Structure 1
Amino acid sequence: MGDDSIGGRLSEFIGNLGGFLRKFIFSVLSVGPIPNHIAFILDGNRRYAKKHNLKEGDGHRAGFVALLSMLKYCYELGVKYVTIYAFSIDNFNRRPDEVQYIMGLMHEKIEGMLKEESFVRSYGVRVHFLGDLKLLHQSVRIAAEKAMRVTANNTKFVLLICVAYTSTNETVHSVHQCFKEKRRPMDKFQEEEQQQQQQGLIKLVDLERNMYMALAPDPDILVRTSGETRLSNFLLWQTAFCYLYSPAKLWPEISLWNLVWSVLNFQRAYPYLLKTKMKRY
């Protein structure tokens, strides 16, 4: 028996053992409330590259590998929605060569989503790209639109990717949409009914319905790596009552144990979070 065969069997054994341990850990976690929606700020890719003397772009590639692992863990745990902050509107102010590289990497990975063996296809993931998509490079925008179209019928797991996004931009977008709705021509009956119900005013329900993130419930947990405790203009509206977790690890270093710890802390805080959320309504 060759070394390659032994090595292959050993890798398979370790993989099976890891899968068994995850199932055991997740079954224990399932005794408590499981978050329905987890959001991630993928912070630390560039610092990871610098820390390990890699090219700057290699940090983003390492971050993508970490993302795939985290998505798999969330799926196995039973988390229905995952949102990631992939690229802020403010990130367009970075060096042109860095922005160009990230756009190219994004296009490459979006195209990879559509392959048969990809995580998206294998796990039945529906993908949404949220943000001011017209700001993206044309090739990336076309690829994103294709990915959303191809995965539209998937229902097992929902991945929301915020690109060309900031929370303030999302709020302005929602106000504009609300204004357009209120300005639509109406027949006489609708106009009378609107006046009776005072629906000409923009209300909270109108704003929330027109948010980019109206596609999903508010996050239960927001994870930002690198030990940073800033939200950086991400989901400011939706995170009013969610649990915030800031592990010191850089994003490419995030592990299963960080996810487990975030869920345990969420479960411990759950009664208070639920109570404060109910007061909102």
Structure 2
Amino acid sequence: MNLQGILEPLYEQRLLRQCRHIPNHVAIIMDGNRRYAKMLGLDTASGHRAGADKTEKMLDWAHELGIRHVTLYTFSTENFSREKNEVGYLFAMFKEKFLSVLTDERVKKYRIRVQMVGDPSMLPDDLREAVLAAEEATKEHTGFFLNIALAYGGRNEIVLAARDILETVRKNGADPDTIDVSMVEEHLHHGKGIPPVDLIIRTGNECRTSNFLPWLAAGHESAVYFCAPYWPLFRKIDLLRAIRIYDQRCAAKSA
């Protein structure tokens, strides 16, 4: 074992001791897959695959630390403008991952519930069917909640909720004056019960939140942590540093 392999676990333990508060809901903007591939002289697909592998590890860390809800920003509405081959590869990989939920023993063991956040009408039929299959297979699970932001846009999220509310008012003849914060949250993400975001993490040295989960994050003043590593290079140390920022925010609020 090299020196880094010896020191990193020790540093992880030190960081963990500094984190008295663990966030309930962490949202992650996984940036840098393409730049990682370019840095290593690899094709774009290899960068996305490396990012998917890192996601698997990160979910294990989150479960180990006691985080109950994780939302991953995987594909935005703006990403549809990327090259056709790249979008096709990503959709095939997403389909593969959603279908793997049906047979993954960890999903059963940890009682993981998988849900999509975004606009399913924008997805190809086969991917949409895979999403529905994963959601249906895990709908009774309550151990850990994994939300996949796919075909997602922050403004579009509010538009979809508004449409649902207007349809409810039209059908039930409800008084528009009854529309309040709780009603919006009830219709947000089609009533999937996703809690407020405590911590947003963005990798790849990009210092912006890209309007990610504006109601649940910005509306609840979540802590934000920006870090330099591209997503495939994200480490448990980086996750713990982010949690330390959240812990410091909690301590400041209670002071």
TM-score computed with the length of structure 2 as normaliser: 0.88
Tell me how far apart the structure 1 counterparts of residues 147 and 104 of structure 2 sit (CA, whole Å). 20
Tell me how far apart the structure 2 counterparts of residues 22 and 123 of structure 1 sit (CA, whole Å). 27
Contact 2:153 2:211 in 1 (8 A): yes
Matching residue within 111, 117, 135 for 1:148: 135
Question: What residue in structure 2 maps to residue 215 of structure 1?
Answer: 193
Contact 2:76 2:152 in 1 (8 A): yes
The CA deviation string for residues 203-224 of structure 1, in whole angstroms up to 9 with x for no partner, is 2222222111752211111000
Tell me how far apart the structure 1 counterparts of residues 142 and 130 of structure 2 sit (CA, whole Å). 21
The CA deviation string for residues 3-40 of structure 1, in whole angstroms up to 9 with x for no partner, is xxxxxxx9xxxx9x99x97995686356x111101000
Aligned Cα root-mean-square deviation (Å): 2.5
Question: What residue in structure 2 maps to residue 65 of structure 1?
Answer: 53
Structure 1: 5+ residue stretches without partners:
1-9, 276-281
Q: Confirm whether residue 28 of structure 1 aligns to residue 28 of structure 2.
A: no
**Which protein has greater RCO, CA pairs closer than 8 Å, 6+ apart?**
2
Q: Confirm whether residue 175 of structure 1 aligns to residue 162 of structure 2.
A: yes
What SS is found at the alignment partner of 1:177? helix
Tell me how far apart the structure 2 counterparts of residues 154 and 274 of structure 1 sit (CA, whole Å). 33
Q: Confirm whether residue 247 of structure 1 aligns to residue 227 of structure 2.
A: yes
Alignment of 1:1-281 (within 5 A): 28=17, 32-117=20-105, 119-185=106-172, 200-212=177-189, 215-240=193-218, 241-272=221-252
**How far did 1:122 drift?**
3.5
The CA deviation string for residues 151-174 of structure 1, in whole angstroms up to 9 with x for no partner, is 112111000001011110010111
Tell me how far apart the structure 2 counterparts of residues 104 and 274 of structure 1 sit (CA, whole Å). 46
Rg comparison, structure with higher value: 1
Contact 2:198 2:223 in 1 (8 A): yes
What SS is found at the alignment partner of 1:40? strand
Contact 1:114 1:121 in 2 (8 A): no
Contact 2:12 2:240 in 1 (8 A): no
Tell me how far apart the structure 1 counterparts of residues 249 and 202 of structure 2 sit (CA, whole Å). 18
Contact 1:57 1:101 in 2 (8 A): yes
Structure 2: 5+ residue stretches without partners:
none
TM-score computed with the length of structure 1 as normaliser: 0.81
**How far did 1:233 drift?**
2.7
**What is the total number of aligned residue pairs between the two structures?**
248
For residues 272 and 175 of structure 1, do their structure 2 counterparts lie closer, same or farther at Cα, with a shift above 3 Å needed? farther
The runs of at least 4 aligned residues of structure 1 exceeding 3 Å deviation read 20-27, 271-275
Tell me how far apart the structure 1 counterparts of residues 55 and 226 of structure 2 sit (CA, whole Å). 16
